Amino acid sequence: MYERQHFINGKVTDGTSGRFGPIFNPSTGKQQGRVALATKGEVETAIAAAADAFPAWSATSVVKRARIVQNLVHVLYARKDELAEALAREHGKVFSDAQGDVQRGLEVAEFAQGIPHLIKGEFSDNVSTGIDMYSMRKPLGVVAGITPFNFPAMIPLWMSCMAIACGNSYVLKPSEKDPSVPMLIADCWREAGLPDGVFNVVNGDKEAVDTVCTDPRVKAVSFVGSTPIAQYVYATATANGKRCQAMGGAKNHMVIMPDADLDQVADALIGAAYGSAGERCMAISVAVCVGDDVADRLVAMLKPRVEGLKIGHCMDPEAELGPLVTADHMAKVSGYLDLAEQEGATIVVDGRGFKNTQEGFEDGYYLGGSLYDNVTADMRSYREEIFGPTLQVMRVKNFDEAVELPSIHEFGNGTSIYTRDGDAARAYVNRVEVGMVGVNVPIPVPLAFHTFGGWKSSAFGDINQHGMEGVRFYTKTKTVTSRWPTGIRAGAEFVIPTLNS
């Protein structure tokens, strides 16, 4: 039984609250550790450390900041498997998927190495006689991240690498379900040479979240999690004068046109719907088939593949997906599957009865893959995010109906279309009301140099994550108008300067 504490001002700091949360191994169903839950005062100590570190860090040359991020990249590559194993044992995703979690975060660190170029302002020479004008991007100060259980490496790295490269100091409040990887990331920053206090980790629950969202020293908050909590964080943070980006839930649709290559579609759906046991905000959870013939053929192709999914413990090299993160979450997903059945969906494959027979792993939080057909838009199981290893199949008559389904849905995170028709693909990309779109790509997660963010109830705030949007979120613009005296006095001027001056 191990303990995870906090990381404040460059060192591991024991909690003083006396409150702890359990850390389970989802593969076995047994508690393997506990995590300290911070008090308001402990979060304030971390914020104070970040505030003290900010002046020196923000004054550090942008080239030196880039080199420390570069050092971090090397450290992360060297320790990638260590992070992935710790992640797998606390989250439950299989080791290869955990490696991908670390890798996608690492790619944002690689992008952030380019901060000397990314943070450049603009310059206009002689905008008026003898007057130059230029802009600079300046760091905000102390910024904070509140991150979810499903990507305990990727999302803390997405946030912290951009924030720190831009010259901010940082406080991370990760999920208490899998806290080991964020603590390892703190150690990686330290190994990379980051000064004490620039990166801090406070483990906790709502008390920690509320402190981060209300403390006046925190200038910006970035959040990823469920929509209800995203709404709460956004409302609380902005009411307290902070910049906020809060990414919420999803219900991602894949539209399958009659001309699509169904072998390719089936391959795409198996990975996109069931990978990481469906615990991805970009998982495809709805297959929208244009025409009954497409649906009949696709369901027939998917059925044996879903039944044959290899499910096992997180370190099983043969497993394609592992357990869900907690017993409560497993029960929640099972409840949605019960609901879909009650609402009249056709059960093609039922994963509720799956039992892992691997010795020592019989009590893990496992569900088999489920496949439901004839799902309709009025079903609650369709309207809400399930976040588990299930795929819902919907049938529509034509392209216009296929565009409408994701466009009118409450969530607008990601969507894909599979087709050989360039006109249909182009029309879909332009018409669908969703923030991230894939064309013959199952999970349209943008790479680090583009921006990540959904629409509607999938995102709150008007600046997205990573890419140039990350630079904009973690900086503020200062514009300077400059004139140096030439020895000629022009006299007092009482009108606002114009382009004719």
Q: What is the rounded CA–CA span in Å between residue 421 and residue 296?
A: 21
356-377 b/e (C-beta count within 10 Å ≥ 16 → b): beeeebeebbbbbbbbbbbbee
Dihedral sign from CA coordinates of 243, 215, 60, 145: negative
In this prediction, residue 289 carries a pLDDT of 98
In this prediction, residue 493 carries a pLDDT of 73
Q: Following DSSP, what letter does each residue of 287-304 receive, concatenated? A: EEEESHHHHHHHHHHHHH
Helix (H, G, I), strand (E, B) or coil at 260: coil
Task: Answer whether 66's CB lies under 8 Å from 116's CB.
Answer: yes
Dihedral sign from CA coordinates of 218, 211, 231, 180: positive
Cβ-Cβ contacts under 8 Å for 154 (sequence gap 6 or more): 101, 102, 104, 105
In this prediction, residue 499 carries a pLDDT of 66
Name residue 169's beta-bridge partners: 142
Low-confidence residues in the chain, pLDDT < 70 = 487-491, 499-501
User: Token match 């394609």: residue?
Assistant: 320
**pTM for the model:** 0.95
Phi, psi of 173 (to 5 degrees): -115, 95
DSSP letter, residue 278: G
Residue tagged active-site, from 166, 188, 213, 281 = 281
As a whole-number percent, the residues of the chain with pLDDT over 90 amount to 96
Domains of the chain (ranges, CATH numbers): 2-248+458-480 (3.40.605.10), 252-439 (3.40.309.10)
Q: Nearest-CA neighbor of 372 among 399, 344, 400, 396? A: 344
In this prediction, residue 384 carries a pLDDT of 97
Confirm whether 289 is a catalytic residue.
Answer: no
Alpha carbon distances (Å) from 304 to 284, 299, 321, 336, 496? 19, 9, 16, 22, 73
Report residue 362 as tokens.
């019989």
On the CB side of 243, how many CA atoms lie within 13 Å of its CA? Answer: 17
In this prediction, residue 150 carries a pLDDT of 97
In this prediction, residue 487 carries a pLDDT of 65
In this prediction, residue 455 carries a pLDDT of 96
In this prediction, residue 500 carries a pLDDT of 62
In this prediction, residue 490 carries a pLDDT of 62
Q: Which burial class, exposed, middle or buried, applies to 445 when counting CB atoms under 10 A from its CB (0-12, 13-18, 19+)?
A: middle
Task: Answer whether 220's CB lies under 8 Å from 243's CB.
Answer: yes
Report residue 105 as tokens.
């975060």
Q: Nearest-CA neighbor of 370 among 287, 253, 293? A: 287
Q: What is the rounded CA–CA span in Å between residue 81 and residue 102?
A: 9
In this prediction, residue 149 carries a pLDDT of 97
User: Token match 């690689």: residue?
Assistant: 110
Q: Nearest-CA neighbor of 499 among 122, 134, 126, 136? A: 126
